[in-house]
Structure 1
Amino acid sequence: MTAPILRQGATFAFVGLTATAVHVVTALSARSWLQASALEANLIGYGFAVLISYFGNARFTFGKAALRGGQFARFVAVSLFGLALNQAITFVAVNRLGLDFRLALGVVVVVVPAVSFVLSRLWAFRAAG
């Protein structure tokens, strides 16, 4: 692995941890305070986290302007894929396997960021050309 990939990976992890913390706190709060279903709470948490993720990764991880070319549209596509994966994991874990919502979130916060980094690096924030 080259140094830029390691730096990007570390920065992506930091931005991701920040976004993940926002996701988890918001989702648990929505579940508790708003009596939201697991999927609703997860969607609310994800919505807040995705904003942190986009702006943090555009600026700090990949050094790009926030609304550069087709980058935002590609990020939205990656984000929607991540959301679908996120919701699928949550649905299967909670509704099919009967696992606790917190455990489902634990699986989500490991799998979705790994997939998102690969897609972001190779496609969403790729260099022009």
Structure 2
Amino acid sequence: MFFILTLIKFGIVGVLGTILHTGTLFILVEYFKVEPVFSSVCGFVISLLISFSINLRWTFSTTKLSKWAVFLKYTFVSFVGLLLNLLIMYVTVYYLDLWYLFGQLLVLAVVPINNFILSRFWAFR
């Protein structure tokens, strides 16, 4: 039951992070005419900082571990997610010539699974 509750909490934080990431991407591209891949990186960084704080205090309730050690691990996990994100966005936008938000949908299908597994079993362990 604890694992399911953790997964649900991680999912809620993930939805918030997704809204922040995608919202930043959309606003930068549509209103400020910033390039989509760079805009996605900006959204990722904002999402990383906020998601880490919430996951640390609420999802995994980690108080025994050094916050800096956990942050470094979480940043590594998120960086792996960023690389997957960039790869998917780059291929979608520049090779397949598809709409950037379609690429973001693909990102949303792949990256959260990767991030949960690495966060649960390594970063916050």
- TM-score > 0.5, shorter chain as reference: yes
- Give the TM bin, normalised by the shorter chain: over 0.9
TM-score by length of 2: 0.94
Distance (whole Å) between structure 1 residues aligned to residue 66 and residue 18 of structure 2: 22
What is the RMSD of the two structures over their aligned residues, measured on CA atoms?
1.4
- The equivalent residue for 1:33 is 31
Higher helix share: 2
- Show structure 1 runs of 4+ deviating over 4 A: none
Q: Report the CA distance between 1:73 and its aligned residue.
A: 1.0
- The equivalent residue for 2:70 is 71
Distance (whole Å) between structure 2 residues aligned to residue 74 and residue 46 of structure 1: 16
Name the % identity.
31
- The equivalent residue for 2:92 is 93
Q: Report the CA distance between 1:67 and its aligned residue.
A: 5.2
Structure 1 stretch 34-43 or stretch 10-19: which is displaced more?
Answer: 34-43
Unpaired segments ≥5 residues, structure 1: none
Alignment length (residue pairs): 124
Q: Report the CA distance between 1:121 and its aligned residue.
A: 0.4
Unpaired segments ≥5 residues, structure 2: none
* Correspondence 1:1-129 to 2 at 5 A: 3-65=1-63, 68=67, 70-126=69-125
Q: Over residues 79-102 of structure 1, what are the superposed CA-to-partner deviations in whole Å (9 max), with x where a residue is unaligned? A: 111111111110011111111101
